[in-house]
Chains A and B, each alone.
Chain A
């Protein structure tokens, strides 16, 4: 695979490793093109079986979605390519450094040290395969505590959102389970605690691949046309009958999450899946140049 045009990569000959700079804005929701180019670069160099050193020193902005996706990329590289020769440094920015430490990021990517999160203001990454209501409850209680909204029943829609996300990972309405499916979840408050950011990621085949498509869409996809991914996501959200299973009562989860967004029960909902990127608040979407593996839902609790 030809390495992509990602600037700043250096080969350290005596250590047989590539040093790859991590984007300063380490966030898929605000810097998706550069981030996907960065991951594509990691995949390309991992094929060479040399070491990869991630230079994280210049990260100045970090978001939960990027932490989750990086963990899933490491997980995939280890399981599919048996590639584990990763190294890296810490961000110079103290806040970013702390977020990475407290999120358990380094434990998930199997760094050569262990760190037990001890900051109650940062919810470490949760991971699983099945639907785990207790985990969803824990995450919501964290969000409520951060915003001083303990006892607030308005988070019921968020609980439903998390459960829908978990079940969509492995056994959703669109196709059968994948063998190595997994989900990751994280929440992080703003520095001023005015909102809590949530991200949920699964490593499935992605909404555009798994939903039911009409004949024209199938033909286009067969010829590698991915320019319709965001439209497929959007139409799934809007409740078009796209479940592959013949039972019409299935496939209501994503439309329900979309309705929560439209009713402002969750804020700033964004969905990234394969080549599609959808901002649900304003129904803006775009096609991504590089592929995102899996499905990410990001939203805020204000």
Chain B
């Protein structure tokens, strides 16, 4: 199992959806910190994402990071392997799960 703390390993000020939108986008986060764990289809270790410690999250960041991951690698494997921790804004967990479940694949 590994843990990714967004505030510590990426940014306390996450941006929007695409890299073209500005720094610390959901796309950038997915490419830099998430995708490497999904490249090997045989990997099945759990990944815990710590959401606390940032200023907050735009929907576009979350959707592109996690919905985008599900579009690329399949929602089943993403839902199975990702765990989320948020004490500051617990509703984010359902929101992110919803984005992954909405993916059609």
Contacts and interface: CB of A to CB of B under 8 A. Distances in A.
- Chain A interface size range: 20 to 34
Contacts of A256: 58-59
B86 to A, nearest CB: 10
Interface string A138-168: 0010000000000001011111100110110
A244 interface: no
Contacts of A131: 15-16, 21-23, 25
A131 B15 CA distance: 6
Contacts of B25: 131
A234 B58 CA distance: 20
A167 B88 contact: no
Contacts of B17: 167
A278 interface: no
A136 B20 CA distance: 18
A160 B59 contact: yes
B57 interface: yes
Nearest to A255: B59
Interface stretch (B6-14, B30-38, B39-47): B6-14
Interface size class of B (residues with CB under 8 A): 20 to 34
A252 interface: yes
Most-contacted residue by chain B among A158, A159, A249, A253 (CB, 10 A):
A249
Contacts of B24: 133
A137 interface: yes
A228 interface: no
Interface string A245-267: 00011101100100000000000
B60 interface: yes
A256 B67 CA distance: 17
A164 B59 contact: yes
Interface in B64-91: 67, 88-89
Contacts of A140: 55
Nearest to A128: B22
A137 B56 CA distance: 9
B56 A157 contact: yes
A129 to B, nearest CB: 9
B33 to A, nearest CB: 17
A157 B54 CA distance: 12
A79 interface: no
A130 B19 CA distance: 10
A158 B13 contact: no
Contacts of A218: none
B20 A171 contact: yes
Nearest to B55: A159
Given A132-B22, A167-B22, A248-B102, 15 more contacts: A130-B23, A131-B23, A134-B13, A159-B55, A159-B57, A163-B14, A163-B56, A164-B16, A166-B16, A167-B17, A171-B20, A249-B63, A249-B99, A249-B102, A249-B103
Closest CB pairs A-B (n = 10): A133-B13, A159-B56, A131-B22, A156-B56, A130-B22, A167-B16, A163-B58, A159-B55, A252-B59, A131-B16
